[in-house]
A and B are shown apart, each in its own frame.
Chain A
Amino acid sequence: MSTVSPARRPLPRGRWFSEIGWRHLVGVLAVLYAGFPLVYVVSASLADVGTLTGSNDLFGTVSGANYAALGGTRFWTWMGNTLVVAVATGAGTVLMGAAAAYAFSRFRFSGRRVGLTALLIIQMFPQMLAFVAIFLLLISLGNVVPVLGLDSKLSLICVYLGGALGVNTFLMYGFFNTVPREIDEAAKIDGASHAQIYWTIVLRLTAPILAVVGLLSFISTFGEFIIARVLLQSEENWTLAVGLYGWVSSLQEANWGLFTAGAVVSAVPVLALFLFLQKYIVGGLTAGSVKG
């Protein structure tokens, strides 16, 4: 604790600690707590042994063997599946949610209030609770159109998109309401159609919330497990959550090196995206706490 206080007048040592010094102490402890599992996973992924037993010596050995070994597994297939599903779901969620939020925010139509209330109630029933019914629904859809049945990435995306309105419409609706209607009206007088207003004006002005919703949807889809596990049955269709779970649960000892390397590779894009967009995410989270 030799840090010099940044205050203009140096505080006496005792007061410095009671006002600022303890914050550093807390900060260091918190960073250790938050960070040690992450340091461990990086170290274990770089160890030249692939087992849990040999991974406890932090950075004792450094080799890329575990990363190279990922190439011999289906890891990259799973990574590709996860990215396809998460990107498609994120994009679809933004498009559908924004369109619905625009309608609720800009038009006054019969059933509007009922619609908003219904959405609020529906979102209380998380889709994951209905996984049995989803499973049964996809069996019958699969009898008709196989690509919408079980074990298909497209049908997994469709299921996730089923939740697109419930969770996000309110977040977007609140934000859309903050964009002044006068802008729409001015454009309308200038002869713009509602579609032009929507695509060229409203969506641009609401870009920050669209980014937040898209990102949150991407991240939650990336880590979704139960529905993916129930739906995706053949190994080449699995997502990372399903595949990595299989590695750890079946042979934890033997697969530990593979798992840690896979964990680092799959966490890095999410982590980078998160740190890059941190400002917007924090804004989005706090905006969600203000009820519309």
Chain B
Amino acid sequence: MSSPATRGSGRTGWSPGFLVKLVLIALVDALGVYAVLAAWSADSWGVLAAMVALLLVANWAYFTKRALPLKYILPGLAFLLVYQVYVVAYTGYVAFTNYGDGHNSTKEQAIEALLVQNERRVEGSPSSPLTVVSDGGALGFAVVSPDGEVRAGTAERPLEPVPDAVVDGGQVTALPGYDVLEYAAVLERQQEVTDLRVPVSDDPADGSIRTQDARTGYVFTSTLTYDPASDTMTDTTTGVTYEPNDDGQFEAADGTILPVGWRVLVGFDNFVTAFGDDRYAGPFVQILLWTFAFAVISVASTFLLGLFLAIAFNDVRLRGRRVYRTLVILPYAIPGFLAALLWSGLLNRSYGFVNEVLLGGAQIPWLTDPVLAKLAVLGVNLWLGFPYMFLICTGALQSLPTDVLEAAKIDGAGRWRTWRSITLPLLLVATAPLLISSFAFNFNNFTLIYMLTGGGPRFDDASVPLGHTDILISMVYSVSGLDGTAAKDYGLASALSIVIFVVVATISALAFRRTRSLEEIA
């Protein structure tokens, strides 16, 4: 039953342990309050709520006497909740949205971006003398209006009047709160200066100030206007009206779409794309099959080789078996990414050690032929994986009960019969859970694939960045666009992650159930 509550660590008052706790909690609270304030000023309400909740729970857990187990679980739990449970749940949410390039933000941000992107200089608009200033690191403009008032702002802060500015011949020479940039400094950052836009006011419809020569500023306003009442976007030059559609974009009656959209829930669209869209469905099925083949063959081949070696070295009469064992497990101690990169060089078509030295100059395209690349991936994974299997098989062989083996011998069973009917089943019971986790590991063995072949050789269909040795997880990576080679599609990538999770979880669950029945037999 639960440990007596009276034994909380605060029990003796100001003991050293209590002081340590007090200092640690104070530190956590200080950092937490800082984060809460920062979230407040950044308008991140979700982060703010999570931080407040975590702080309250932490303070309660460590000062009440009724939450003893929680004191021990909380540190790990906090990280688990934020960086695993939340991100998994968020993956599930993103899978049902069209989050990605062109749909990166909320609707308000998309409207603002559209207004900004379509800014044109207003014909005949007045020009005003302008000075380039800087506020800390951020560039800004100071403009002098016809009545002599000086207003200044940066890309983030709209123009506002600055009193006490010194104006000399239309140019601002000193400005409280800002540094006036020298001509040379302006030249140095010319591109930044011509790209800079300083909003006239908080309302995007008022436009912004821009400059070409860093001396004269013009007002630019957007050719689009947004009407919040009807929720439509109108192009003032053509008069076309755009209405929001279900995909999170503004669409005109003739079907033209404005380039910036926002993210919306799209239901099962991403899953439909994965299984049904011509560009993805074909590669997806091929990749799914190859992923299974890769994971199953990897587990089987490494297990068989490891087992064979474990048996070969499992004889006390074998001299030097410690040396053999140590040398054979060396590949296991090499970080996987180093091994994969190393093998990509060894298997290089023209200069690799395998072709050039072992095969006498044969130019075999190990990594660029669809079939050979798959063989190469399996072969390299065999090299990487068999020492692990060797280790666990050695452990399992040594822990086999000797009395059962003796009984079999007495009953007249031969070597082969003993092996098949007793040793192997017992061995499988002991190693099955590890074989399952090895399957799950290889199912997601991103590092090997990405570093050895990069998923290549590419499929003939060039519209998707996928190849013959891609497995599901590397497909997710390519589709997500985070490597910069394709358009970003977080929605589709998350949907594929969910599919992988369902596959792995189902197989693990089934396999664990089967191993339990194996165990009962044994």
Using a CB–CB cutoff of 8 Å, the interface residues on chain A facing chain B are 3, 5-7, 19-20, 22-24, 26-27, 30-31, 33-35, 37-38, 40-41, 51-53, 55-56, 95-97, 99-100, 102-104, 106-109, 112, 115, 121-122, 124-137, 140-141, 143-145, 158-159, 161-166, 169, 188, 193-196, 198, 219, 222-223, 225-226, 229-230, 241, 244-245, 248-249, 252-253, 256, 259-260, 263, 266-267, 270-271, 274-275, 278, 281-282, 285-286, 288-291
Contacts and interface: CB of A to CB of B under 8 A. Distances in A.
B315 A132 contact: no
Contacts of B72: 99-100, 102-103, 198
Centre residue among B17, B69, B333 by max chain A CB count within 10 A:
B69
Contact of A35 (B327, B332, B353): B327
Contact of B505 (A20, A124, A286): A124
A67 B113 CA distance: 50
Interface of B: 1-3, 7, 9, 11, 17, 34-35, 38-39, 42, 44, 46-47, 68-73, 75-77, 79-80, 82-88, 90-91, 94, 99, 308-309, 312-313, 315, 317-321, 324, 326-339, 341-346, 348, 351-353, 356-357, 383, 387-388, 391-392, 394-396, 399, 430-431, 433-434, 440, 444, 446-447, 450-451, 454, 473, 476-477, 480, 482-483, 490, 493-494, 497, 500-501, 504-505, 508
B387 A128 contact: no
Contacts of B330: 34-35, 38, 271
Contact of A53 (B82, B351, B388): B351
Contacts of A267: 333-335, 338
Contacts of B351: 51-53, 56, 253
A103 B480 contact: no
A23 B338 CA distance: 30
A96 B348 contact: no
A130 B87 contact: yes
B356 A56 contact: yes
Contacts of A144: 35, 38-39, 42, 44, 47
Contacts of B1: 108
Contacts of A275: 326, 333
Contact of A163 (B7, B84, B99, B319): B84
B77 A165 contact: yes
A107 B7 CA distance: 13
B87 A134 contact: yes
A241 B335 contact: yes
Given A103-B72, A107-B3, A225-B451, A145 B35 contact: yes
Contacts of B388: 285
Nearest to A283: B395
A121 B83 CA distance: 16
Majority SS at the chain B contact face: helix
Contact of B341 (A40, A128, A245): A245
Nearest to B337: A241
Contact of A20 (B317, B348, B454): B317
B327 A107 contact: no
Contacts of A143: 42, 44
B409 to A, nearest CB: 16
A129 B392 contact: no
Centre residue among A24, A26, A34, A102 by max chain B CB count within 10 A:
A34
A108 B4 CA distance: 11
A274 B76 contact: no
A271 B338 CA distance: 12
A285 B306 CA distance: 15
B392 A286 contact: yes
A285 B433 CA distance: 11
24 contacts: A20-B317, A38-B331, A40-B346, A40-B353, A96-B79, A102-B72, A122-B80, A128-B444, A131-B482, A133-B94, A134-B87, A135-B482, A136-B94, A137-B86, A144-B38, A162-B87, A194-B7, A249-B454, A256-B345, A271-B330, A271-B333, A285-B392, A286-B396, A289-B396
Given A23-B315, A282-B395, 4 more contacts: A33-B383, A102-B72, A143-B42, A260-B342
A109 B324 CA distance: 49
A270 to B, nearest CB: 6
10 closest cross-chain pairs (CB), A and B: A162-B83, A96-B76, A223-B335, A286-B395, A103-B72, A274-B333, A133-B87, A133-B90, A99-B72, A27-B324
Contacts of B334: 38, 267, 270-271
Centre residue among B70, B87, B318, B501 by max chain A CB count within 10 A:
B87
Nearest to B512: A291
A99 B17 CA distance: 16
A164 B335 contact: no
Given A225-B451, A270-B333, A164 B76 contact: yes
B44 A140 contact: yes
A245 B452 CA distance: 10
Nearest to A226: B446
Centre residue among A219, A225, A259 by max chain B CB count within 10 A:
A225
Contacts of A158: 79, 82-83
A281 B388 CA distance: 11
A23 B482 contact: no
Given A31-B327, A34-B330, A34-B387, A259 B84 contact: no
Contacts of B505: 121, 124-125
A99 B62 CA distance: 14
B476 A129 contact: yes
Contacts of B38: 144-145
B328 A108 contact: no
A12 to B, nearest CB: 15
A34 B317 contact: no
Contacts of A195: 9, 17
A127 B331 contact: no
Contacts of B450: 225-226
A129 B317 contact: no
B8 to A, nearest CB: 8
Centre residue among B44, B330, B357, B505 by max chain A CB count within 10 A:
B330
Nearest to B309: A30
B428 to A, nearest CB: 11
